[in-house]
Structure 1
Amino acid sequence: PEDKRKSFTIVEGNLTDICRTLASHILTPPEYVEPSIPYIIEVLRESAKIISEAMRDMSGDRLEAMLGGKDVFINILQYEEGKYPVEDLRLATSYILVNQLLFYHVISSHRPEEFPPLDSRLISRPSDLGSYFKKVYDVNYKAVFSYNVASLIPERFTDIVRTIINAVKGIAPEKVRGDLLGTIFHDLVPFEIRKSVAAFYTNVLAAELLARLAIDRHNVKVADFACGSGGLLVAAYRRKKELLERERPFTQEDHRRFVEEDLLGVDVMPFAANVAACHLALQSPEYFTNRIKIAIWDSTELKPGKKIPSRASLETVLTGQTDLEMFVREGKEVKGVVRLGEEEPGEIELEKCDVVIMNPPFTRHERIPEDYKTVLFKRFEDYRDYLHGQMSYFGYFILLADKFLKEDGRMALVLPATVLHVRSTEGHKNYGLKNIK
């Protein structure tokens, strides 16, 4: 696009002419060129491909550890051990680092006194990025910065990392307004890569429609227990903001309350949680918050009153809690993806909410491992009269939403059309007729 900002010019004339010219410049606001979203996404995707090439020696086992652990790969992704789509998973890991660079650059642009801008000249090895990221990690945003991807890149690729840093700074993402900045995070990762790590996204327009139908007050508490990239949570954020601005201006305190108290997102996939945290936090990048309620967990194990530690082994996440020590004890099979730092773990205390908004996974019952299906039946034993052996995965999330709703709460779900006629959902329909108004 053409930059319409004027360069140096000479104006000749009498005093009246000079005053008129000066007035026209003073009273006319400058025209700025909005950065091109498609161009920014193209540059960032190319950066991810380059990083992926730098990690070409990374094995399937290390990718498994980075992206969720063996239990996630077997139960959620349904991959057989040794048959992982390694190239796609390596690229997914690369996108985590791109997200981290982009996120850090944006917040450092708004708060340079707390987070020094990235300087490629100070990077002597890829792992040096950790010294920048730790500053934000120590404040919070653990779902964004808990994955130390930079340390996996060999030192011989340091020049490439410097080039990518300069590219991120050169595309000036900090000049993009908040809602479009979220769009970058939403659209950045190609579908085939998202599919390989089960990070499915809800169509933006569908998300906005669902939020409008379900949310009618700006002070409602909203939860998404299959949050993916955070699209539905962002739609809920925007809807709450729209309703609030009908009464008064939106403030930093409102942003803090929205992301720290009112909106909860949970996803079993670390990759999805990473994108969701970026997507939600950058809706108003000019406002900084110390916490964001995005958790990495198997949602089917949750219930009101439970506290989710900020660090846990994925073995514990997928099989259920037996004692608090399990969350900080590491065993032979435990992966460190969700173990977030050395400080005392923070907690998210789960409570009932006004709205549960979700696009739950549609996994067919044939693809759910029998051992995991047994676990699911046990977790929902209070609904045993409504369970069915051939129930698809989304059926459990309908019951989960019911667990967390207040008496007058609303359930807003994206479901397949088959929910209306298949026998396995008869229990849900009977339960709804008896208990939902």
Structure 2
Amino acid sequence: MGTTEHTLNDAIANILRETRAAWDADGVVASENTGAFSGNNQRPDILVCEPHTSPVVIETEVLPATTVEVEAKSRLGQTLRSTGRVVLSAIALRLPKSYRMLAGKPLRASIRAETEFELCLFTGESPTDCERWPRDGWLRCSIEDISRYAQSAAVPPKVIEDAAEQLVLGVQQAAALLNELSTDNPKSTEAIASDLRQQDEDQTRRMAATMLANAFVFHETLAGGSGKLGSVLSVDELRANNQFTKSHVLKQWRRILKVNYWPIFDIACRVLTHIPAGRTQPILEIMAETAERLLQNQMMRSHDLTGAIFQKLITDRKFLAAYYTTPAAAALLAGLTLRPKQTPMGSDWSDEDELQKMRVADFACGTGTLLSAAYQRMSQLIEFAGGEAASLHPHMMADVIVGCDVLPAASHLTASMLAGAHPTVKFDQSHILTVPYGLQPDKSVALGSLDLLNPQRTLGVLNITAKAAEGLGEKEKEMWAALPHDAFHLVLMNPPFTRPTGHEGDKVGVPNPMFAAFSSTKEEQRRMGSAMKKLAEGTSYHGNAGEASAFLALADCKLSKDGTLGLVMPMSLLAGDAWEASRKIVREKFGDLIVCTIAGADDDEMSFSADTGMAECLLTARKGKGRKGRALFVVLFERPDFPMLGWSLAEQIANLHDNGAVRKLEDGPLGGTRISFGNDLVGYALDVPINDTGHWNVARIRDLALAQTAHQIAVHGMAWLPGMPSRNAAQSLPMSTVGQIAAIGPYHMDVNASGAGGTVRGPFKVVSASGSPTYPILWAHEADRERTIVFEAEAEGEVKVGKDSDEVDLISRKVTALQATASHAHFNRDWRFNSQSTGMQFSNRKAIGGRAWLSIKVGDEKREKVLALWGNTSVGSLMYWWHANKQQAGRGSIGKNALEDLPVLDLTSLSDKQLDKAAEVFKNFQSKELQPLHEIANDQVRAALDEAFFTEVFGWPAALFVANGPMDLLRQKMGDEPSIHGGR
């Protein structure tokens, strides 16, 4: 007789209880619970009902399991008889057939070892109003995976979104009252701003209201608690006693402070104290009602919710770039850096003594989302290994987790979220630091966490202490002693991306945006810039790369010899010229490199942070250990929406990395290795060699067959195109780089810019061309006139007037030097793929290159014609796209330095006959209009150019150019790329 379903459910439930300490209590995980729901006698197979979260039902069935999905969906919307809570999540779990024949110890052992359970999750308010994940197919999983999915399902996305809206509404209402107060009693709001160490403005008042709302949520959670918290009265109890007033609320909060929760209630007390008694009542009512609405949904401790709210409320991003990492992206990064087999120290997750020695840091913690995700992941792994995370909480807060931020409110919010992981567990100290920034009382300047680049505090201009939010108070921390170099086993960060150089300062009207936060003066910015220059000396920091490169250097300094790195970075890290020193650090010091990007078409779809509007990457690596010389590149089709998806992605990516069964860049145009949720394809992975220098090009590429094709052409001179069955069918193509065959013209600022102190850097003033210009310059873009390969310069250089004879002579020499760079061939340095047609061009009259078009001087007019032709074939365009920095949607950028390494046709290898053939092709196509590159699949002119150029000049077979043949397929694939079409 086979094992009954009841027996199987009991066994699974028993083992699930062992995966999470909170589930070990009576009744939290129940199997075959008759009468669990109000109004019926339906019996869920397994019910997970952890306090303060939404209940989750797990329905099981042995394969073929034809009814398990229907049964799981039927549980949605049911109300628990015991708590009145509604089921919003249900898991359908399919069991292997072999389980029908197992019992006792063999059954238990099999469940523990199983990796082929099949799972899907339903979320929604009813069987007819729900979503299935994955949309199609099933997830293969282990018992630990089931536990993790159930834990994630207990925080339903809809509840988080609804709660976020409720909190935003309440905060906005309270902030509006504070705005009125700022008019009537400005000293009150100025005092609040002083305590928050921010300017007295709208954002600060929203932040103050958020702190009050946060305090009321915790107040309601703690009221009526056991031990010293037993005397804390709830809001309803205060109302019943006619004591819901400023003085009595402060009394309750100070009572809580005597026990714990300093990060939450100290700042809230200070804010509330500054509000006049006669103006507090409406604010108290709004905040209490907001907390009550949140508590009805049981989501008061969700770091997802807290982070989302912080993102909606903070607006001081112009200078700090304090963007918020989405919870799903944080889960992905935490999952990639914290693995089940061992801690970042190399010890087992069950070794509590070793766990207490571990150090995890975020030196730009912002809302604390990354640290919260890391702590959640660590807690899960500890409990999967049989430990109890709550018992380690004081050690985690005191010794393990470090967070730093320049915003006091951000530090307090981070501490709040971490403390909220185990709100009834007392801790005496923490390393959540508010680091000094800007001009200090002793007239020194501070750079926030970047001060820590100096390991010995010898730089006299820097302030060296920070405020620490302790469990029972706040005190000064001496930063260098607390945060030494080479001491951290895991560093996770999403640092600011602000740059001190280029046009960024011009856009916002400040000399140095990197140090312009908190209304610092020009002199303060100058001093901070000087201090930064000294601090960063000898590191990989580069001003054009910006602040993020300094934080990468800081992570390198702070990590132990085998520490793990996890960063959210601008995607320009992978291809920007200014980032080469940073890439070198990663190449030489780190192994086991994993890089994740998003192939989104829109600016808002390419980032792992909310609202950055720019492409980002996730980078993880192991310092001093692991595989070097190669990396796993992952391209996701879209950013994961929910933490559960982030965790699942991390597990798949980590398994691909560890198992090594991944397609390689060198494999030819076969595409990458699939990453999917069930049958839902969500991305690809590719194993890629990391060169000693240069760009990491496999980023934001949805169809990795294009990357493999580009690699074969660039490295091996073999046009192994998609659809070709093997390398034997590939066509030979002589390749070189621009720097090897040509001279690149001037950087545009050397044409027209002024130097320091009003000196002459560029000898020209660039004006619109008229008549026959003396010094023609290709300066700016005008897409409609650039549809053809040949067009003339639209601008000219007007020679500047010198102040004296020396300057006149200098200008003359500079004009002569620039004139010598004039060329027929020019390169589009910022190609807007979804509006512009040409990547290279030819001008009948030689012209100087400008801001939009860099001159490329081969020295031979005929070869420059060939270069312009090549640059506008599909293969030449592929090389541009492959080499470009695809930081922005529908656009590729290749600066002057990067152009040196752009793979191009080796013009020096062409015979006279080939040059003559190319000249004929040029004559036939020079005036024909090309479509913008994103229309490449339907561009008949470009298709004809491809066929003429490669058949007539190189003798490629005509069969390659037929409809749906290899070249046509290449164009179709390029047209489908989000980084090319940009959503158009």
Deviation at 1:275, TM superposition (A): 1.8
1:374 aligned partner, one-letter code: S
What is the deviation of 1:160? 1.6
Q: Deviations over 1:243-273 (max 9, x none)?
A: 2122204242122322332111111111211
State the Cα distance separating 1:33 from its structure 2 match.
Answer: 1.1
Deviates more, 1:298-307 or 1:154-163: 298-307
Offset at residue 48 of structure 1 (A): 1.8
Aligned-pair CA distance for 1:392: 0.4
Decide which of 416, 425, 430 is 2:570's aligned counterpart. Answer: 416
In structure 2, the residue matched to 1:300 is 450
* Contact 2:213–2:287 (8 Å) recurs in 1: no
Distance 1:146 1:403, change over 3 A: farther
Q: Secondary structure at the match of 2:403?
A: strand
1:135 aligns with 2:255: yes
Partner in structure 1 of residue 425 of structure 2: 287
What is the correspondence of 1:301-340 to structure 2 with a 5 Å cutoff? 301-302=451-452, 319-321=462-464
Is structure 2 residue 287 aligned with structure 1 residue 144? no
Q: Which residue pairs with 2:208 in the alignment?
A: 93
Q: Does 1:32 align with 2:170?
A: no
- Shift in CA distance, 306/165, structure 1 to aligned 2, threshold 3 Å: farther
Matched residue, 1:397: 551
Q: Does residue 183 of structure 1 match 2:333?
A: no
SS of residue in 1 equivalent to 2:361: strand
* Cα distance in 1, alignment partners of residues 368 and 387 from structure 2: 25
Higher relative CO (Cα under 8 Å, sequence separation at least 6) belongs to: 1
Please give the residue correspondences for 1:60-209 in structure 2 after superposition, counting only pairs within 5 Å.
61-62=190-191, 64-69=193-198, 86-108=201-223, 110-111=225-226, 113-114=228-229, 116-119=232-235, 120-121=238-239, 123=243, 125-126=245-246, 128-147=248-267, 148-164=270-286, 166-168=288-290, 170-171=292-293, 173=295, 176=298, 181-189=302-310, 191=312, 193-196=313-316, 199-209=322-332
Q: Does the residue aligned with 2:531 lie in a helix, a strand or coil?
A: helix
Q: TM-score, normalised by structure 2?
A: 0.35
State the distance in 2 between where 1:53 and 1:203 align: 27
Alignment of 1:215-364 (within 5 A): 215-216=338-339, 217=343, 218=349, 219=355, 220-297=358-435, 298-302=448-452, 319-321=462-464, 345=475, 347=477, 349-351=482-484, 352-364=487-499
Superposition deviation, residue 320 in structure 1: 1.6
Equivalent AA in structure 2 for residue 407 of structure 1: K
User: Is 1:48 paired with 2:171?
Assistant: yes
* 1:97-146 Cα shifts (integer Å, max 9, x gaps): 11122223323454473261344446575355333333344455443334
Matched residue type, 2:572:
T
Supply the distance in 1 between the matched residues of 2:547 and 2:394 (Cα, whole angstroms): 33
Q: 1:251 to 1:210 in 2, by over 3 A?
A: closer
Q: Is the 8 A contact 2:428 2:471 kept in 1?
A: no
Residues 379 and 394 of structure 1: CA distance in aligned 2, closer, same or farther (over 3 Å): same
Change (3 A) 1:435 1:287: same
User: Are the counterparts in 1 of residues 401 and 431 from structure 2 also a CA contact under 8 Å?
Assistant: yes
CA contact (8 A) 2:372 2:418 kept: yes
**How far is 1:42 from its partner?**
3.7
| CA RMSD in angstroms, aligned pairs only | 3.7
Secondary structure of the residue that 2:433 maps to in structure 1? strand
TM-score by length of 1: 0.73
SS in 2 for 1:390: coil
Question: Match of 1:49, as an amino acid?
Answer: Q
Tell me if the contact between 1:89 and 1:196 (Cα under 8 Å) persists in the aligned partners: no
Give the C-alpha shift of residue 410 in structure 1: 1.2
Q: Which whole-Å CA distance do the structure 2 matches of 1:212 and 1:341 have between them?
A: 28
Is the CA contact (8 Å cut-off) linking 2:223 and 2:232 kept in structure 1? yes
The change in CA–CA distance for 1:401 and 1:271 in structure 2 (over 3 A counts) is same
CA distance in 2, matches of 1:174, 1:43: 11
Aligned partner of 1:10 in structure 2 is none
Bigger shift: 239-248 or 87-96?
87-96
CA distance in 2, matches of 1:189, 1:344: 22
Query: What is the deviation of 1:176?
Result: 2.5
Whether the 8 Å CA contact 2:468–2:474 is kept in 1: the answer is: no
The offset of 1:52, in angstroms, is 1.5
Instruction: Using the TM superposition, give the Cα deviation of residue 373 of structure 1 relative to its aligned residue in structure 2, in angstroms.
Output: 1.9
State the shift of 1:432 in Å. Answer: 3.1
Q: Which residue number corresponds to residue 723 of structure 2?
A: none
Alignment check: 8 A CA contact 2:372 2:417 kept: yes
One-letter identity of the residue aligned with 2:175: S
Q: 1:347 to 1:185 in 2, by over 3 A?
A: same
**Structure showing greater Rg:** 2
Task: Name the structure with the higher strand share.
Answer: 2
Q: Distance in 2 between matches of 1:43 and 1:279?
A: 19
Q: How many residues align?
A: 374
Corresponding residue to 2:500 among 365, 374, 391: 365
Task: Name the CA distance, whole Å, in 2 between partners of 1:344 and 1:171.
Answer: 31
Q: Secondary structure of the residue that 1:195 maps to in structure 2?
A: coil
Q: Per the alignment, do residues 228 and 306 of structure 1 end up closer, same or farther by CA in structure 2, a change over 3 Å counting?
A: farther
The verdict on how the C-alpha distance between 1:162 and 1:267 changes in structure 2, with shifts beyond 3 A counting, is closer
Q: 2:536 aligns with which of 380, 388, 393?
A: 380
* Counterpart amino acid of residue 376 in structure 2: R
Task: Tell me if the contact between 1:4 and 1:31 (Cα under 8 Å) persists in the aligned partners.
Answer: no
